[in-house]
Amino acid sequence: MAAAPGRRLPAALLCAALCLGAALAVDRSNFKTCEQSGFCRRQRGLSPGHSPYRALLESLQLGPDAARIQLINEATKVPLLLELWGLQGNMTRIRIKELNPLRPRFEVPDVLVGEPPVERLAVTGRDEGSLELSLGPAGHRLLVTEKPFRMDLLQGRELLCSVNACGLLFFEHLRQRRDSFSDKLSSSVGSLWDKIKTLFHRDTPREPTAEEGAAAEGQDEAAGGTEEAGDQSEKPTETTAEAAEEPGSWEETFKTHTDTKPNGPTSVGLDFSLPGFEHVYGIPEHAESLRLRTTEGGDPYRLYNLDVFQYELYNPMALYGSVPLLLAHSARRTLGIFWLNAAETWVDISSNTAGKVRGRGWGHRGGAIGVLTPPFRCWQTLFGKLLDYMQGGGETPQTDVRWMSESGIIDVFLLLGPAPAAVMGQYAALTGTQALPPLFALGYHQSRWNYNDEEDVAAVEKGFEEHAVPCDVLWLDIEHADGKRYFTWDPSKFPRPRAMLEQLAAKKRKMVSIVDPHIKVDSGYRVHAELRSRGFYVKTKDGSDYEGWCWPGSAAYPDFTNPEMRAWWASMFAYDQYEGSTETLFTWNDMNEPSVFSGPEVTMHKDAVHYGGWEHRDVHNLYGLYVQMATAEGQIQRSGGQHRPFVLSRAFFAGSQRYGAVWTGDNTAEWEHLKISIPMCLSFGLAGLAFCGADVGGFFKNPDAELLVRWYQAGALQPFFRAHAHMDTARREPWLFGEDNAALIRGAVRLRYALLPFWYTAFYHSHRHGVPIMRPLWMEYPEDTTTFAIDDQYLIDRALLVHPVTEQGARGVQVYLPGKGEVWYDTVSYQKHHAPQTLYVPVTMSSVPMFQRGGTVVPRQERVRRSTECMQGDPFTLYVALSPQGTAEGDLFLDDGKSFDYETKARFLHRQFTFAGNTLTASSADPRGSFDTPVWLERVVILGAGKPGAVILQPANGSETRLDFQHEAEPPVLTVRKPGVRMGDDWAIVLR
């Protein structure tokens, strides 16, 4: 929930909230642009093409696991250490840090699941100005050029990626502060000074920054000879970087907030050139199309977790979460760049084809754009030009990506694919896979800010019963707590929380309550008193507990970077600590960017101090991950390690997928917000966050009936399915828009429940292999260029293609069916369509265009009941969609739906279904698993099958039984009734 008017707040807090935007639109003035972010401005001011850095190749140290080479900035004389690893699984790691820093620099912990196993490196070539390293058995080679420093990664004769080809390596070394007039100016005065200088020097060159001066020096040396760097560990001289520092380097003011910078400027940056790539994706969260646009004419994409009030669409502004993973895709291969840095980060994207294609510029939608000036332009060494010649000459499409972070080190992983699924697996090997959720979490969730009291909860639950709409979870927002003191209940509204939870559990339903990481400052509040006494709060730069304004009023913020604090937080979810809680109560972590209404950009001051003495600027994007991590651990601990948690988090970072679900935040009841939910969740999935959804109906404003119905239809086909709304909106439970619309919503929800076996199996695939559940078409059809920019339709796993209706008054949609030589079946009419083609599909209000891929088997449970738990013993139907070759395959994962026994005790079934030679067979896909379940096969529907003379069941004991069947000729569909075999048994059904 973003800070917004309408909440019941203390006067001072209400004023702060109103400052975030009195109208229902984002107030951009509350959030920085690149020009207002000092380090981004400094880095963007660096001229590309002339790097001041030289690789001291004679310093090479080649160990069994890594190569280490010193770099020198030939202007500042500051040495850096370059470390290189070839990693198993087709990955390369590059790390650059100071060789002799004045103090340690932050290196991101707890994101990688372990130290990645390495390949042995070898020197395979060397001359006066370059060095070639072999990175392992996959044939990758890294060419390190001495001056200017550059690296080129090749496989055979193919150049995959160049590093620092634009010459934009930027590393602000730690230094002692020098007293000077500009240092003593506040950032606001400095800004005024910049404007004055602009007025008087508009037509004359400004003084170069340290990096620009270094670049110029490097250019002069390149033209006039080579000068030795001197002592490799030489400290910077008095006349280099410090003398050229801009106002704001040691102190920066934004609006009324001053950021003291005791460590001075510490930003890092690096560019990557990707020849042959025109399409890049990822780096969520942005309300943006799936394919990222170039950043000419506007700001870079920003990664800085923020509570943004009613965010704008098609905008590079930062939102609630950040994953610094960018994917590049072409018909030849897929490649990923994972930039492991948790500080504020900006990402510039440039392309040599940007002005030659149709696209959108910042500030408008659609239309053609002319030739644009890129934010930076690369240059080529002689080696780069030679590679172009080797690869056939001509203008190769190229995308250049530049990363800029405020602090920390450069630590980057190149994920070399080459297939899309391989890149997903490589990222998962580094950061982990999507946690396998409890089965109930895949059902429908009903939420609102706020259900008023226990009577209101009971009435809503009864409404689902009376209107036959399945529902697994009811949610409580901040008003349920006693004065917004989390881990408590309002004694007048929720006097008997345990009884309320038990009543829901009797109907096989669960509840989620909100627990935010801002703690009301109240000496009588046990949670606050204990946090303060233990010293577990984030500190100010002066050492006192950091406090700011949030929903409770004055609030303090637990330091989740402290492992002791996280352990304490986890202990608070024990049943004897969280009074009134039961095993059916789960958790929602909101506002965990962290949101601070009174803070700069509605978040925590960057000079606040965390565990270990690190500044908030170093750890900012980790905060939300740590909140979700500690909460999930608390749920696991309360069950003695037996049960899987469910935690929804608004803020996230790389690795958050290991702890639960995420969503797209405080959206709006508008058609464009419905439409953007698709590319946003697709981007989340590409970044490992497979359990994603959007607030059905929109959080702000009131949807009309058409929009609400269409949103239910779309939301039912996204991984996380929850309706949620602002307290100032009209009530919108599914039955409140008339019976006709209630029936349409009921149909959408029931479709979700019928497909639960397929969804749960897709989650298992994601959990095991790191692949997205909701995935763009190009992941399955990587050579089909038509799919590269499609983001209004998608695949669920690999078998179902979905095109939700997202246009008001739509009478039809254009659906692209990919796959040369493949077929797709309409899941309602069973009509077969040959691919590839673009198909016009007429729609009515009941239509959800969905197609099953020929060659797949989709399991369903069609006896839909009130909740997932009620359906766990119900029989299954298999939908077998035949390929043109008459084959199909699919699988089904089954376990108890709630425990870790599938992992710790191998209590699961993973069944494989294969259709070939007119025979459907069932066998074990993983013989390690064993799970006793009575569930059985009720029906088999074979799409595209001819009429057989007989259908025979052959169980594992060798007997034969004739089965009843029905055949429809047009379109051809064979329905086999009641085979009656158990889903865990081996068997065959033969068409004769």
Give the distance from CA 444 to its chain's centroid. Answer: 22
Residue with tokens 């940007």: 354
How many Å apart are CA 397 and CA 542, to the nearest integer? 52
Tell me if 38 sits within 8 A of 60, measured CB to CB.
Answer: no
DSSP letter at 244 equals G
Residue 248, judged by CB atoms within 10 A of its CB (0-12, 13-18, 19+), counts as buried
Q: Token pair of 740, please?
A: 């006709």
Local structure of 142: helix, strand or coil = strand
How many Å apart are CA 214 and CA 50, to the nearest integer? 9
Local structure of 971: helix, strand or coil = coil
Local structure of 443: helix, strand or coil = coil
Residue 307, judged by CB atoms within 10 A of its CB (0-12, 13-18, 19+), counts as buried
Q: Nearest to residue 323, comparing CAs of 557, 538, 108, 161?
A: 108
Tell me if 939 sits within 8 A of 975, measured CB to CB.
Answer: yes
DSSP string, 843-900: --TT---EEEETTEEEEE--S--SSTGGGTT--EEEEEE--TTS-EEEEEEES-SSBS
How many Å apart are CA 450 and CA 909, to the nearest integer? 40
Which residue stretches of 112-227 are H helix?
Answer: 181-184, 187-200, 210-224
Local structure of 468: helix, strand or coil = coil
Q: Token pair of 982, please?
A: 């158990």
How many Å apart are CA 495 and CA 493, to the nearest integer? 6
Which residues fall within 8 angstroms of residue 12, CB to CB, at 6 or more apart?
Answer: 549, 553
Tell me if 650 sits within 8 A of 707, measured CB to CB.
Answer: no
Tell me, what amino acid is at 108?
V
How many Å apart are CA 964 and CA 858, to the nearest integer? 21
H or E stretch at 498: helix 497-506
Helix, strand, coil % in the chain, rounded to nearest 5: 25, 25, 50
Which residues fall within 8 angstroms of residue 636, CB to CB, at 6 or more apart?
Answer: 643, 644, 645
For 600, phi then psi, to 5°, come to: -65, 130
Q: Which residues are catalytic?
A: 590, 666
Residue 241, judged by CB atoms within 10 A of its CB (0-12, 13-18, 19+), counts as buried
Other CB atoms within a 10 A radius of the CB of residue 206 amount to: 12
> Nearest 5°: CA angle at 928, between 925 and 933?
75
> Nearest 5°: CA angle at 412, between 317 and 769?
90
Other CB atoms within a 10 A radius of the CB of residue 127 amount to: 9
How many Å apart are CA 87 and CA 678, to the nearest integer? 34
Q: Token pair of 912, please?
A: 């494989």
